[in-house]
Chain A
Amino acid sequence: MHSFLYRANALLTFAITILGVVCAIASFTDNFNNPTPHAQVKVLNINWFQKQPNGNDEVSLTLNISADLQSLFTWNTKQVFVFLAAEYETPKNAVNQISLWDGIIPSKEHAKFWTHTSNKYRFIDQGSNLRGKEFNMTMHWHIMPKTGKMIADKIVIPGYKLPAEYR
């Protein structure tokens, strides 16, 4: 502590160490948040449903997605990435997960939303297993914090079924 630069160095080191500890505590406070998100997905229409020339089934859907994810936001939340996936089982794959729609929610004010859209990404099976297939719509989200660890969770909405015939 005898010189100007020595004191400046000591202060800077200690200040940044404290900043790191404060950020770690801020990340820890996310554990006190118990979110109660809601999501609802309606399949309004099967636009078309066909077999590609290479033998894979493809379906086009019109969806109504509504969700209330406001409770996911805390003071340490930068943004939330959310995507909707169709999940089902086939003899070849125990888990098929096809992303149909996604979005980035930048703030709590935008976290209660609904959207009317056809599937943003193509719904193509690995094979020809989609006729009459029952599947789950799963809303996944990744909470991206300002500091600390990322939190991922999901809501599984079961009970969707594709038609038995191509159209």
Chain B
Amino acid sequence: MDWQGQKLAEQLMQILLLAFAAIAFVTGYVLASFQLMVLIYAGGVVFTTLVTIPNWPFFNRHPLKWLDPIEAENHPKPEPSENVTSKKKPVKK
């Protein structure tokens, strides 16, 4: 699961659970059935689990693009120069 996928999974989880809780409460209150409320919410939790917990392909649409490995011999260690113009420290290898 990539970074965007993780964000999407967390938001989906929160929105789905809150939506199911709201639907369950209104339904239970209107039909005067506490049991129905609990059943709808339990179903919502199961549905949300199936949507957000497995590593579905749509959570992997933004893979990280890493640079190619740098060949050490193509980039030899820079020689310390006499006239230092930049204040940057030489990169440690």
Residue positions of A touching B, CB distance < 8 A: 1-2, 4, 7-8, 10-11, 14-15, 18-19, 21-22, 25-26, 29, 74-76, 146
Contact = CB atoms under 8 A, between A and B. Distances in A.
- Interface of B, secondary structure class, is helix
A15 B17 contact: yes
- Interface of A, secondary structure class, is helix
A102 B15 CA distance: 48
Contacts of A18: 17-18, 21, 41
Size category of the B interface is 20 to 34
Interface of B: 1, 6-7, 9-10, 13-14, 17-18, 21, 24-25, 28-29, 32-34, 37, 41, 45, 48-49, 52-55
21 contacts: A1-B1, A2-B6, A4-B53, A4-B55, A7-B52, A7-B53, A10-B10, A11-B45, A11-B53, A14-B14, A15-B17, A18-B21, A18-B41, A19-B21, A22-B24, A22-B25, A26-B37, A74-B32, A75-B28, A75-B29, A146-B34
B55 A11 contact: no
A75 B34 contact: yes
Interface centre among A8, A15, A22 (most CB of B within 10 A): A15
B23 to A, nearest CB: 11
A2 B1 contact: yes
The 7 closest A-B pairs by CB, nearest first: A1-B6, A75-B32, A18-B21, A15-B45, A7-B53, A1-B10, A146-B34
